């Protein structure tokens, strides 16, 4: 049986493309080193003059409705 479907056209979002291009440029400046990339972003963020928002220690509920704190490195869901 032959596939009579026409090819699917990929949607291009110019905003997403611009963000990806900016990320690529910043990553290239850091020589593709993820640690250097993150360090540079932290320095840039701290020097931006904007107030930084940090996630608080809001308790997360488990499946029984009990409050639990995620361990370090774990993502709250």
* C-alpha separations of 3 from 8, 9, 10, 11 in Å: 13, 16, 19, 22
pTM for the full predicted model: 0.51
The model's pLDDT over 23-64, given as tens digits with 9 standing for 90+, comes to: 999 999 999 999 999 999 999 998 998 887 777 766 677 777
Task: Give residue 72's pLDDT.
Answer: 57
Q: What CA–CA distance (Å, rounded) separates 12 from 57?
A: 38
Quote the domain boundaries for residue 31.
14-48
**H or E element at residue 60:** strand 60-61
Q: Is residue 5 part of a domain?
A: no
- Length of the chain, please? 77
6-27 confidence digits (pLDDT tens) = 777 788 899 999 999 999 999 9
Residue 23 within a domain: yes
As for how many domains the chain has, the answer is 1
Closest CA to 12 of 21, 25, 24: 21
Cα 71–chain centre separation: 20
In a domain, 31, yes or no: yes
Residue 44 domain flag: yes
């Amino acid at each position: 049986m032959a596939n009579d479907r026409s090819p699917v056209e990929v949607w291009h979002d110019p905003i997403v493309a611009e963000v990806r291009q900016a990320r690529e440029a910043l990553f290239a400046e850091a020589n593709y080193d993820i640690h250097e990339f993150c360090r540079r972003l932290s320095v840039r963020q701290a020097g931006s003059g904007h107030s930084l928002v940090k996630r608080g220690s809001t308790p997360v509920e488990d499946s029984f409705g009990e409050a639990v704190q995620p361990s370090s490195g774990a993502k709250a869901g």
